[in-house]
Each structure stands twice: as C-alpha cells, then as structure tokens.
Amino acid sequence: MCGYSNMNVQVQPRLLEWARERASLAQAELAAMVGTKGKPAPIEEWERTGELPLKKLEVIAAKVHVPLGYLFLKEPPEEPLPLPDFRTLEGNTVGRPSPELIDTLHTCVRRQDWFREYLENIGVEPLPFVGQFSVTSDHNAVAENIRNAIQWTPTERAAELNLQQVVGRLATRIEEAGILVMRNGVVGNNTHRPLKPEEFRGFALFDPVAPLIFVNAADAAVAQLFTLAHELAHIWIGQSALDDGCIATDQPVEQFCNQVAAEVLVPMEEFQVEWRGLNGGPDELRRLSLRFKVSRFVILIRAFEGRLIDRETLDARYDEERSRPFRAGSDSGGGNFYYTQRSRLGRRFAPAVIRSARTGQTLMREAYDLLGVKKYETFVRLAESMEVQV
C-alpha cells in the first residue's frame, strides 16, 4: 500500500492549475500547504508537467476541496450554479464561485430534495403564498402579504432585543410559515472553511412545497436581517436566487426584492411617524437603525423613497456610511455546538430528519450526512437539544 501511495501519476497539468485557482490559492500558498516544514512542494513543476506522487495528489485534492477523481479528468468539469446568480461587485458580475459557496449550495439543494420528498410522503400541500406574486406586482402589496404570512407585527419589529435575537426571531417566524431557514458562517461544521460575506450574503431555493432560505451567518447581524427579508421576496415571486445584498444594484429583480425587503422591515407609514429629520446628524440615523433593526443604508433609502430627503443628501450620506468599517458576524463555530446547529440546520429540517431516521424511513448513514454528524452519540444529543424523542 505504501508503495502504491508513493508511485507517480500523470494528470493533465491544466487540471492542477484549475483546482488551485478554484480555491483562490497562489502557487506559493499551495506549495506551503502541501509540502513539509521548511520544504515547499514543487507546485510550479507539477502544474507544468502534470506528473507527481499519488500521495501528494491526494493531499492537493483535500486542500483545495475537490474530489480526487476530478483531477484525473481530461478537462476541468463544468460547475454550473443551480440557481440564478444576481451577485455584483461594484456593478460588475463577480467571478468564479468559491469551493465554499459551491459546497454550501449543493448541501442545501440535497437537504431541500430530501425534505420535499419527506413532505410529499406525508401529504403536505404546496404553500399558498409561494410564487403568488411577480416582479410586476406592487412591492407594497407583496411586503404586506409577507408580513401577514410570517406574522411580523409592529410589536415584533420594535422588541427590545439585540440584533442576533431579532434575526433568530424573524427566522423562527419564517419557519413557522413553512419555509426552511438555514444560517451558517462556515461550510457545514468546518470552522477552517469560513463563508465570506463579500462573496455572497444569502440565497433562496424556490420550491412550492419546500422553499429554502440560506443566510451567511458570518455577515453582520443587521445585514442578515435584511437578507432574510430579501430572500423572502424571491420566494414570494417564485424565483431561486444567489445574492450579495447590494443595496445600490441596477438589476430590476434585485431592486424589486430590495424594495419589498425594506417595506417588510421598515413600513413607510411607521417610518414617516418616526422620522425627525437628519439635522441631528449620524445620531438620528443610528436611532432609526436601532428602532427598525436595519442598516443606516436602508434608513437613508427609505427616507429618499418617502421624499423626506433629496438625491444630493442621499448620495452624500450614503458615501459617509460606506466609509465606516464593516462589522462581521460571529458564527465561526464557537459556543455550544448543539445550540449552533439549531440555526445551521433549521428548526424544521433537523427534527424531520431525526424522526425519519428513528422510524427507519431514512437510513442512519443518510441522516448523519444530512445533519452533518458522524456518530450516534452526537445524533442523540442533537435530538435531545431540539427536544425530539429518539
């Protein structure tokens, strides 16, 4: 076996280069990761010749998070995203998705597929509000319909809670309405593979029976709240989407979903009552931001949409806010593992998998994979933490 692992193999050089670039690594970075202490691996040579020890090829596959078999193909595989990509970067379409984004997307698609089949087997009907509207609908009407469906009342919006608690409360309301919500800041439970908010903030996977919303929990809590509302708008118009939460987007669909999200979180009627003008400077923006649990960007845009400030004021204050440092979220896997899993898996999905495995409808091996656990003890403790009898 040792001799087999140490033998050299020949692969297409462009596959090695593709795998490295897919992981956004420079040759020197990968060389340090694959080599031994004080002796970097000869990545440049391997990418030129395509010849290297099988054992090192296995290490490369693990480090760049691609299946080993991919590196024996003749051409790099196509990895189309399973949903429309609405992300932008300063007005330009972003580049190749990271392995972390791709793996997160496919995990959620697999979970949604399982949950759809689970619901269909127990006779659950399609949700009445899913896909009920379109981008030509009145965004105020869509927002009102969403608020009614998830019971997001003025009392809920004004609750004296910290932002993370508000995010959790909104996620709970959405799940109670029948939509899966998963929030994670890393790939699965791997804290060494963080999700970058600058790459994406969330996505929606449309389905009449089992719609799913994913929120990048590495993002700031205030951004997570807006992402939840934004992805709800996509579900309401019957569309899957991958988003970066750009407020200043020029894409019609994203503009519409932003309008809906803003009205869900900051109803104009309530906002106009609260508005005291900007003579107080940043403190007034801060007060309104805390009152409605949204970013100062959203407050400024709502003020402009309500004709409370002009375009010149909007642009000036918007630029001021952009100069402020970004504050990321805190989901890096710390704290209580089982408590964290509630938000990562969702309060609807995890109990369903646990019950299905307990009754023998789902194999334990598949349940472990769906839940991201590796042993029975963890499975049992997760069930206990979610108050599911095993």
Is residue 175 situated within a structural domain? Answer: yes
Is residue 65 situated within a structural domain? Answer: yes
Is residue 150 situated within a structural domain? Answer: yes
Mean pLDDT in residue range 150-172: 84
Q: Average pLDDT over the chain, rounded to whole?
A: 88
Q: What range defines the domain where residue 364 resides?
A: 348-385
Same-domain pairing of 135 and 189: yes
* 154 pLDDT tier (thresholds 50, 70, 90): confident
Indicate the residue type of 107.
T
Is residue 205 situated within a structural domain? Answer: yes
User: pLDDT digits over 302-360, tens only?
Assistant: 999 999 988 898 888 877 777 766 555 555 455 688 889 989 999 999 999 999 999 99
Q: Which of 72, 99, 123 is a domain's end point?
A: 72
Mean pLDDT in residue range 141-163: 86
The CA-atom distances, in angstroms, between 109 and each of 112, 124, 320, 338, 370 are 5, 19, 39, 23, 11
Is residue 310 situated within a structural domain? Answer: no
Same-domain pairing of 150 and 212: yes
Residue 371, both tokens: 């839940």
Q: Which of 48, 72, 96 is a domain's end point?
A: 72
DSSP letter (8 states) at residue 39: B
User: pLDDT digits over 190-217, tens only?
Assistant: 998 999 998 999 999 999 999 999 999 9
Instruction: Give the residue from 75, 99, 77 showing the smallest Cα distance to 11.
Output: 75
CATH classification at residue 46 = 1.10.260
> What is the CB neighbour count within 10 angstroms for residue 68?
12
Same-domain pairing of 155 and 257: yes
Is residue 109 situated within a structural domain? Answer: yes
User: 112 in helix, strand or coil?
Assistant: helix
User: pLDDT digits over 40-94, tens only?
Assistant: 999 999 999 999 999 999 999 999 989 999 999 999 988 888 888 888 754 444 5
Same-domain pairing of 131 and 256: yes
Contact by Cβ (8 Å): 308, 272: yes
Q: Indicate whether 385 pLDDT > 50.
A: yes
Is residue 120 situated within a structural domain? Answer: yes
Q: What is the pLDDT of residue 94?
A: 55
Domain count across the chain: 3
Mean pLDDT in residue range 169-187: 96
Distance (Å, rounded) from C-alpha 40 to C-alpha 48? 16
* 107 pLDDT tier (thresholds 50, 70, 90): very high
Same-domain pairing of 201 and 260: yes
Give one word for 277, left, alpha or beta, with left for phi > 0 and alpha for psi -120 to 50: left
pTM of this structure: 0.85
Is residue 312 situated within a structural domain? Answer: no
Distance (Å, rounded) from C-alpha 265 to C-alpha 143? 9
Same-domain pairing of 107 and 22: no
